[in-house]
Amino acid sequence: MTLRSGAEPAPVPAQAVVLLASLSVFWGINFPMIKLAVTDVDPWIFRTICLAVGGVGLLAIHRLAGGRFVSPRGQIGALVVCSLLNITGWQLSVAVGLSLMEAGRGVIIAYTMPIWATVLAVWLLGERFTRRRGIALVLAVLGLALLVLPDLDGLIAAPAGPALILLAALSWGAGTVATKAVDWRLPVAQLTGLMMLIGGVPVVVGTVFLGDPGTLATAGTGSLIGLFYAATVPMIYCHYAWFKTVRLLPANLAAIGTVAIPAVGVVTSALILGEAIGPAEIGALAAVAVALVLVLIEPMSAKSNP
C-alpha cells in the first residue's frame, strides 16, 4: 500500500461533524448492547451473525441505492490487511473481552484506540501533530485514566477481559491508519461490506470449531435485543459512517474525534445494565467533551495557530 504524505489542516466538513456525533451515540450504546448479547449468546455465534448481517446489508444497500460494484483488483492485499485489522481483530476481541468484564470499563479501554492511531498516523502517514491535537489527546488520556485507575486492582486481578479489549484497540488503531494509507477506488459502502465479509472468514472458521449455536435457542429477551441492535445499527450504519469519516478527515483527527464514545458508553451502561457511575465518570465526561471540542475547532484556527 502506498503511504501518502501529510497536508495542511483543512476546515472540518459539516458532514464529518454529523457523522462523528452520530457515531458517538450509536457506538457508545453498542457496548452495553454487546454485553447484553454475550451474556447468553456465545461470542463466536454473536460475531458471525453480526458480520454476516453487516456485510450483506451494506452491499445490498449500496446496490439498491444505484451504486455500481468496482473491482478491487490491485488492492486485494490491502483489503485483506485492513479487514483483518479493522474487523477480525476488533470485532472478535471486543465480543470475547466484554463477556469477561463490565461494559462501562470495556468501552474505556477500547477507546484508547485514538492514541495508537494518532501515533501511527504521525509516524507512517506524515500527518501533523499540532499543539491543539496534543492537548486534546492529553485530555482524552486523562479522561480514560480517571475511569480506569479507581478500578485498577480489579483489572489486575482479572486481566483476560481488559487484555482482549486492549488488543482490540491496538488492532483498530492500526486498521484506521492502514485504511487511510490506501487511495481506495471502491465506494465506501462496498469497501466496508467487503471488509466485513473478508474479516468475517476467520470468525466463521473459529465458530465452526468453537461456537455453540445452542445458546441462541436458550438466550433471554435482553440478549436477543442486544444481538439485534449490535447486528444492525453499529454493523451497517456505524461502520459505513466511520470509513466515510476516515476519508473526510486525517486519520489522527478522525480517531481523536471518537473520544466522546466512551462517555456515552459509560452512561448508557449505567442506565441499561445498572453499572456504577460516580465522580470519576463525571470528570472523565468533562475531559473527553473538552477534547472533542478542541479537535473539531482546531482547523478553524490552523492558519493562525499551527
Q: Answer whether residue 1 is part of any domain.
A: no
So what's the pLDDT on residue 1? 40
Q: Answer whether residue 22 is part of any domain.
A: yes
Residue 203 identity: V
Contacts of 224 (CB under 8 A, 6+ apart): 37, 41
pLDDT at 8 exceeding the cut of 60: no
Place of cell 496534543: 134
Report the number of distinct structural domains present in the chain: 1
Q: Answer whether residue 4 is part of any domain.
A: no
Q: Which residue has the higher pLDDT, 291 or 71?
A: 71
Percentage of residues in the chain with pLDDT exceeding 90?
Answer: 42
Q: How far is CA 98 from CA 42, 73, 84, 107, 251, in A?
A: 12, 37, 20, 9, 26
pLDDT in tens, 27-75: 999 999 999 999 999 999 999 999 999 999 999 989 998 889 999 888 9
pLDDT at 301 exceeding the cut of 50: no
**CA pair distance 41, 279, nearest whole angstrom:** 33
pLDDT in tens, 151-172: 777 767 778 888 899 899 999 8
So what's the pLDDT on residue 225? 97
So what's the pLDDT on residue 155? 67
Q: Answer whether residue 282 is part of any domain.
A: yes
So what's the pLDDT on residue 32? 95
Nearest in space to 238 (alpha carbons), one of 9, 40, 58 = 58
H/E element, 97: helix 90-98
pLDDT in tens, 73-98: 889 999 999 999 999 999 999 999 99
Find the helix packing angle between 90-98 and 14-40, rounded to 10°. 50
pLDDT in tens, 213-262: 999 999 999 999 999 999 999 999 998 888 788 778 776 667 666 777 88
Print the domain residue range for 276. Answer: 17-298
Cell numbers at 292, concatenated: 472533542
Mean pLDDT check: name the lowest of 36-50, 98-112, 131-145: 131-145
Q: Answer whether residue 5 is part of any domain.
A: no
Please state, as a whole number, how many other Cβ atoms lie within 10 Å of the Cβ of residue 301: 12
Q: Answer whether residue 306 is part of any domain.
A: no
Nearest in space to 245 (alpha carbons), one of 193, 185, 167, 188 = 188
Q: Which residue has the higher pLDDT, 118 or 109?
A: 109
Q: Which residue has the higher pLDDT, 50 or 303?
A: 50
Q: Answer whether residue 9 is part of any domain.
A: no
**CA pair distance 282, 263, nearest whole angstrom:** 9
Please state, as a whole number, how many other Cβ atoms lie within 10 Å of the Cβ of residue 132: 18
pLDDT at 288 exceeding the cut of 80: no
Q: Answer whether residue 123 is part of any domain.
A: yes
